[in-house]
Amino acid sequence: MKHLAISVLLFAAAATAAPPVRILIAYHSQTGNTEKLAMAVRDGAASVPEVEIALRKVGEASVEDIVKADGLAIGTPVHWGNLSAETKSFLDRVGAALGLGKKGATFGEGRLAGVFCTAGGPAGGQDTARLSIIAALLHMRFVIAGGVAGDGYGVLGPQAIGGAPGGVAKNDLDDARRFGERLARLTKQFRSGAGK
C-alpha cells in the first residue's frame, strides 16, 4: 500500500511538471559555414539542463517547431548586406504560425529570440543582416537576446567570416556556443517567471 501511494505521488508530480524549455535553431546555409555556427549554437544551448533543442534548416522547420519554441535562434548567410531570401521566407512563416492576420494574436510575446550570421568578408554587412532579422522579430513582439564576445562585450549575435581556413574560426564557434548557452539560460529564466 505504501509503495502504491508513493507511485501515485510520483506519477502526479510528473504529470504536473512543466514541459522542458524548447529552443528552435533555424538556419540557412549555402557553403556550410552558417550550419557550423548553428551547430555551435546548439552545443551551447544543450549545455543548459532541462532544455530541448530542435536544429532545423529554415525550409525544414515545421509550424509545430515554431509554435512550440520558447526560444528561437535564426542564422543566415549575408546576401548584399541583408538576410537571405530563404531566411526572409522563414520569418514570414514564423509570423504566420504565430498569428499574422489574426485579431488578438500575441505572436512572439513571452518568447526570446536571437540571430547569427556568416559573411564572405569582414565588411560583408553582418550588422545590417542581423538588424533586419531583429527588426522583424521585434515587430513580432519577441524579446531579443544578444550574444557576448570573447572580450565580454555584448554583440548583436555571433558572426563568422567564411574566408577563414576551414570556413569558421575557433573564436567564432566559441562565441556561438556562448550565445547558445545564454539564449537557453535566459529563455529558461524568462519562462519560469524570472523575466517578468
Total tally of structural domains belonging to the chain:
1
Q: What value does the mean pLDDT take over residues 160-173? A: 82
Does residue 22 lie in a domain region?
Answer: yes
Domain membership flag for residue 196: no
DSSP per residue, 12-27: HHHHHSPPPEEEEEEE
pLDDT of residue 196: 46
Task: Name the residue with higher pLDDT: 11 or 109.
Answer: 109
Strand partners, 156: none
Q: Which CATH number goes with the domain that contains 101? A: 3.40.50.360
pLDDT at residue 85 in the model = 97
Per DSSP, the three-state class of 83 is coil
Decide if 3 is inside a domain. no
* CA gap 37, 116 in Å, rounded: 8
Owning domain of residue 165:
18-191
Q: Is residue 11 part of a domain?
A: no
Does the residue 137 lie in any domain?
A: yes
Residue 45 lies in a domain: yes
Question: Measured between alpha carbons, how far is 155 from 114 in angstroms, rounded to an integer?
Answer: 11
Stated pTM of the model: 0.87
SS3 at position 107: coil
For 24, half-sphere exposure in the C-beta direction (CA atoms, 13 angstrom radius) is: 25
Per-residue model confidence as pLDDT tens digits over 60-119: 999 999 999 999 999 999 999 899 999 999 999 999 999 866 777 778 889 999 999 999
Note whether residue 85 is domain-resident.
yes
